[in-house]
Structure formats: structure tokens, C-alpha cells
Amino acid sequence: ETGVTQSPTHLIKTRGQQVTLRCSSQSGHNTVSWYQQALGQGPQFIFQYYREEENGRGNFPPRFSGLQFPNYSSELNVNALELDDSALYLCASSHRDRGRTFFGQGTRLTVV
Amino acid sequence: QQQVKQSPQSLIVQKGGIPIINCAYENTAFDYFPWYQQFPGKGPALLIAIRPDVSEKKEGRFTISFNKSAKQFSLHIMDSQPGDSATYFCAASMNSGGGADGLTFGKGTHLIIQP
């Protein structure tokens, strides 16, 4: 077990709705990242938070946003859901200076 | 544009054999190369990682070979077991893994170890 926990494990939303996914980072880690993994593909980097600020973003639109809290927990928010947003969303935590990144079990989001 | 190319897409090996999965990268700024194992319905699990100052790293039955000049790296699984059947991903990142650009993943290799 990595110590990275995500909730919920599964979620079904309707196109146009908004969704919030939650993550609790591994103890001692100060950096959290979110990834989207479509079926049969590798994870794609969405963004990274360090010291409660976004400090890196992949090729995702602004309707993907996030928060990192002082206790290193994190949220991923997606507005105006589209069918193509259906995927496994992975939270990953790491210590900024040590490189090793650990993933949670993911939240399976289905948009209908 | 895919920055990390992984092959093969799928691989079947007999128990005890040595599956080899290959990855190639383009961005010379990458300096941290981890491998992840993923079972269905689970998140990726970190297996082993290497930095470009060494050509080989072993951890248990897993070995990474790294060729900096060719910009290629590979995963070898010694004495493979049916329990090793999973999808394997190579990845790369900058700033020794602490970069703000996250990990760039390959597309994955679906490995089956036959009993």
C-alpha cells in the first residue's frame, strides 16, 4: 500500500455536471499531482500542487482545477463534464526533493 | 506528441522466462526514469527507477538497463511468474523526479506470463 487514498472509488455523472474528487497524500509528502488515465492508455499529467499552489500543468483546459490543503490533502474539480472526461483519475504524492511518486488506487469517473 | 515511446504493446512469456520491455525518449532534459506496474482496477505501483548517471539498476527480480546515448531504457523481469502478469508503464521526468511537469508515461505493455 502506498498510503495515498482517493475517494470515491467510482462515480457516474451526467454531461455538463461538475465533479469533485478527493485525495489524501502519503505522510511526509509535500507535492500532489493528478493524472487522467483513459482506458488502455498511460496516465496523462493534469497538474501538480506544491505548498498549496499550482506549479505545473499538462495539456488540460481550465475547467480542470484543483486545491491542495495545509494537511497535503487535495481535490480535483472538473466543470462542464464531457463524455471524453470518462477515465480513471489518479492522485499521486511525492516529496519535492526525492522524486519517487506514489499513486492512489484511482477514481473511476463515468460521464453519461 | 508522444515523448516516451514504449514497446511492445503486448507480450506473452512462459513462466521462468525473461520479458523485456523497451522505452525510448526524445527530451534530453529527462533525468529520472521510473517503471510502474498496474493491475486491473488499481493505481500504478512504483517498481524501480533509474537516473542517467548509471547504466543498470537491479531491485529483486527487476532490472533497468539504460543507454543514455541512444536515449533508450528497458525493463527486464528475471524468473517471471504468473503473478507478474500486469500492465507495465515506463515514465520519464525532469529535475530528478521533482519537476513541475510531472511524469510523462509510455502507452504501456500488457504482459502475460503463462504457467
pLDDT at B95 over 80: no
d(CA A45, CA B18): 31
Residue of B103, B105, B107 to mutate when probing chain A, most A C-beta within 10 A: B103
pLDDT, tens digit, 9 for 90 and up, residues A68-78 = 998 879 999 99
CA closest to A43 among chain B residues: B105
pLDDT of the residue at A26:
83
For residue B99, what is the nearest residue in chain A, using CA coordinates? A96
Q: What confidence tens digit (pLDDT) does each residue in B26-82 have?
A: 999 998 999 999 999 899 999 999 999 999 999 999 999 999 999 999 999 999 999
User: Which pLDDT score, from 0 to 100, does residue A95 have?
Assistant: 82
Whether B99 shows a pLDDT value over 90: the answer reads no
Q: Is the pLDDT of residue A1 over 70?
A: no
The b/e string for A41-54 (b: 16+ C-beta within 10 A; e otherwise) is: ebbbbbbbbbeeee
- Amino acid A2: pLDDT: 63
Q: How confident is the model at residue A60 (pLDDT cuts 50, 70, 90)?
A: very high
Calpha distance B110→B115 (Å, rounded): 16
A64: confidence class by pLDDT, cuts 50, 70, 90: very high
In this structure, are residues A105 and A24 in contact, taking their beta carbons and an 8 Å threshold?
A: no
Residues 46-65 of A with CB under 8 A from B: 47-48, 50, 55-56, 58
pLDDT of residue B2: 59
Task: Determine, for residues A103 and B44 on separate chains, whether the beta-carbon distance falls below 8 Å.
Answer: yes
Mean pLDDT of A53-66: 95
For chains A and B, CB pairs below 8 A equal: 75
pLDDT of residue B98: 66
pLDDT digit string (tens) for A14-59? 999 999 999 999 888 889 999 999 999 999 999 999 889 998 999 9
Name the band, by pLDDT with cuts 50, 70 and 90, for residue B96: low
Average pLDDT, chain B: 93
Among B109, B35, B87, B68, smallest CA distance to A101 is for B35
* Cβ atoms within 10 Å, residue A12: 11
Q: Flag whether pLDDT at A94 surpasses 60.
A: yes
Q: Is the pLDDT of residue A112 over 80?
A: yes
Residues 6 or more apart whose Cβ sits within 8 Å of residue A9: A105, A106, A107, A108
- State the average pLDDT for chain A: 93
**CB-CB: which of B36, B45, B98 is closest to A97?**
B98
Strand A44-50 to strand A64-68: parallel, antiparallel, or no bridges (unpaired)? Answer: unpaired
